[in-house]
Amino acid sequence: MEVAVIKYNAGNVQSVLYAMERLGANATLTDDWETIQKADKVIFPGQGEASTAMKYLKERKLDQLIKSLEQPFFGICLGLQLLCEFSEEYDTQCLGIFPIQVKKFPPLDKVPHIGWNNLQNLQSPLLAGLDDSAYVYYVHSYYAAVDPAFTIATSHYIEDFSALLQRDNYYAMQAHPEKSSLAGEKILTNFLNL
């Protein structure tokens, strides 16, 4: 299986590449249109800052490419946030796959949200084999609001937020599955099996 991991200078890609290798997938880090279009699956990883990442995507017209893809697509952490419509982080217009606002957790002394937290309200084949006892690893200061049309799992930190989103072939997760032990491995395996 060929997996394209989108390169957009958003960090944390090596752990995703290692996770794909452990699961037997051939993953390539790339910003090449043709490689991404031909891949069986696409992963949009990242940690970093929204406006800088969007600038990189737009300069290479990857923003247009991402919105045109039809194979299973998985945004992780910053990848989830950039798939939303707008981020409060430097007032950034994002990709708009999910018509959801990304907001900063209040109050400031409680962010970032770092550590293990469980998933709740699971409702997708991406989460098959997991339940509310599944814990995943978070590092984030911004969150996507819960939207019943697109939220396929929630977590709670200060308030409920979208732990995972889905719209058509687009899936996204705020936590880092590649750092989330057996639960994260199960989610990545389910994604590869979609």
Q: What positions carry a catalytic annotation?
A: 77, 176, 178
Output the 3-class SS for 44-60: ECCCCCHHHHHHHHHHC
DSSP secondary structure string for all residues of 62-126: HHHHHHH--S-EEEETHHHHHHEEEETTTTEE---SEEEEEEEPSSGGG-SEEEEEE-BS--SGG
**Residue 51, C-beta contacts closer than 8 angstroms, at least 6 positions apart:** 87, 89, 90, 91, 92
The residue among 92, 129, 116 whose CA lies nearest residue 181 is 116
- Any idea of the CA torsion for 12, 162, 70, 68, to the nearest 10 degrees? -80
In angstroms, how far is CA 167 from the centroid of its own chain? 13
